[in-house]
Amino acid sequence: MEGAIKTVVMQYLSSARGKESLGGKNFQKLVQGQLGNILSDTDSASAVKDMMKGLDDNQDGKVSFQEYLTLVGYLANSLSEQKSTASGHEEAPKH
């Protein structure tokens, strides 16, 4: 599990290339390279841009590490829900 957390952190850091946060281009590269299998539309630049806008809480036009974790957390939650529904566990997601 520590390895998985390290991967989550390192993917961001290597995409940000030493900068504090991810600019549009690097975010797009990260999404296309790392999330292409679980997200549809990663090839569409406008879809990725919309996603970035949705994540950008502080509206600085970049994706901070916290904002990136929001995305990872959201995706992990949806994947987990999909799995438990598929395997028949009735743990209804609460919103």
Question: Which residues make up the interface to other proteins (CB under 8 A)?
Answer: 1-14, 17-18, 33-38, 65-66, 69, 72-73, 75-77, 79-81, 83-84, 89, 91, 93-94
Count of C-beta atoms within a 10 Å radius of residue 93: 10
Using the minimum distance from each CB to other proteins, give the nearer residue, 2 or 46.
2
User: Cα–Cα distances in Å, from 52 out to 23, 32, 48, 68, 83?
Assistant: 10, 13, 6, 9, 26
For the CB of residue 76, give the shortest distance to other proteins in the complex, in Å.
5
Pick 7 or 44: Cβ nearer other proteins: 7
Q: Which helix (H) or strand (E) holds 16?
A: helix 2-16
CB of residue 37 to other proteins, shortest distance in Å: 5
CB of 40 to other proteins, least distance (A): 14
Beta bridge partners of 38: none
